[in-house]
Structure 1
Amino acid sequence: MNKTSSKTLFLSMTIMSTLMVLSSSNWITIWMGMEINIMSFIPLMYKSKNSLLSQSSMMYFLTQSMASMIFIIMILVNMYGWNNLYKNTDMNMIIMLSMMMKLGMPPFHMWFPEMMNKMNWDMCMMLMTWQKIAPMYCVSLSIQNNMINMSFIALSTLSGAILGLNHTSIRKIMSYSSMNHMGWIMSCILMYKKLWMMYMILYSVMMIMFSLCMKKYNIMYINQLNIKYIPVMDKINMLIMMLSIGGIPPFLGFLPKWIAMEYMIMSNEIMLLLMMTMSSLITLSYYLRMISYLSMFMSHSQKWNFLSLNNKKNNMYMFYINMILPMIMLLMNFM
């Protein structure tokens, strides 16, 4: 009972701290909300005596603390009017770099895949979705449309695409996929401020569904997609989710990328859009590699893994959610 109540306390503190950041009107309260978020997320992560979890919690604490120190120093510089040391654009750039360190974006990404590989799917799901909302909100407040930020967006999308090619751990692959999506979200912030919220919501829905599906069958590596017995309908759901996360039309994941492309074409950012689109095509290669294992529906499943053969329940909710996009396109044509 005590363990459950403490987990509820820290989970509610994690949620409330992010809401505190989103509703703040000055930088100090944003910093306070982020510090509460760090201190409430670490106990959730370290819920059992495990050397891997202790390493990941220490890695998370050190990285986030370093980023928070840079952030609070820039806030104090701005508050006490030391403008002769730094220009306003320089301060915004340093604040944005500290947030990129919190998000695990290139070139500050080395901690993120290693930490993801040491955690269970529940914590991976939180780290890829909820924990990115507050830093991304700070990025939206401080980002400026210049060549440096464009370079960071291109680096994030390309690094997330290329570095994920050489891994068989699904958690590491999803961490590099998250870097690629963070680059897309930053481009949404540059083109149209409100667009990143829609992208973040749709991305979070897809990642939550994917993480819950991987948790259900305790899948950590690509070869386990073929070894474990998974019902055919669940395999089809996984296949649709992977194509949706990759941004293939007509699935739901294509919608935010489609809108981001339209705004980037309107802003005449053709070269950046070309690099981001090419990187998204590269990410499809490791989704297709996972799909190739799933596509062998029943051929290599072992007899001793037929434990849920009599389970007739089909999880259709993932299929319905990922097929919302054609209905949205149909409604847009009628409007």
Structure 2
Amino acid sequence: MKLEDFDFDLPEALIATRPARPRSSARLLHADGAVTHDRHVYDLPQILRAGDRLILNDTRVIPARLTGHRTRQSAQGAVTAKIEVTLMEPQADGTWSALAKPMRKLAVGERIIFSNDLSAEVTAMDEGLRLRFNLTGDDFDTALNASGAMPLPPYIAGKRAPDARDREDYQTIWAKRAGAVAAPTASLHFDEALVAALGQAGVDFTFVTLHVGAGTFLPVTVDDVTTHRMHAEWGEVREQAAAEMNATSKAGGRIIPVGTTALRLIETVADADGTMRAYEGKTDIFIYPGYRWKITDGLVTNFHLPKSTLMMLVSALMGQDRVREIYAHAIKDSYRFFSYGDASLLIPSQM
């Protein structure tokens, strides 16, 4: 299975840099087996069945992009350099793994000043940058919220800088548990009115947590995709969530994750017969064509990058030929792509 099997040509004009407003006015490509319908996200209450259960990721994106400076003494006096930092993941020892630009201007022991309140010491650089901040707990959260910017994906950040609108736009309405450095973007299409309408239509909701890491944007670099190794991300399925999914499956309802993050987590946790259980830990599951599905009956998701692991995931769900048809239709009809783009509802033929 070759990387080029998941490639396609996308006009740059179809890459969305702002989301639809209101959120649920985004377009929705409904692929029901071999049939394609052009709808809108606000049509979901009429499309889904009573007894279906949507699985939602309640992670909260932190403002992980920081701009600061370090000052170093030299023979010519104090030399200051601007440093841009993207936080990646908190570590067990209290430090943060991070990316920095330019990395060459940093050394272990140096301090980066981000604001009057927030600074960090470089504690390691041998296996990736590690930072120890001067604040912890709520004090750190407050200072980070004041100093940081939302970590927009590279294909948006390359076109414009993050701004105040992104603090709302790049966060789901049910974001609760802070820790992600990328949004579960399929969930960005849901607003309060849509959630209420879905509830009235008999659709149920279950919340799980997967803290999306910056590794989600890393490209696949191997030609044989079966040798690719995924980055690990922390997730949790609580006892109540597992019980809700088991009850829906037993009653004949469909389990439909909203976003690939929720999907990857529940497929990690489910037993071979589809039984869910409570879980807390890392997942590095890689889903590509040939995968044996355990619990997922459909998927709400955005349109993904060429040659990405997410293209491989949707191809595993719908079939490679069908996904090529879906994406050709989306491009022809000018659907908007990627994190701030339009959505799809993918239901395999057997569902």
TM range (shorter): under 0.3
Bigger proportion of residues as helix:
1
Instruction: Tell me the TM-score normalized by structure 2.
Output: 0.21
Instruction: Tell me the TM-score normalized by structure 1.
Output: 0.22
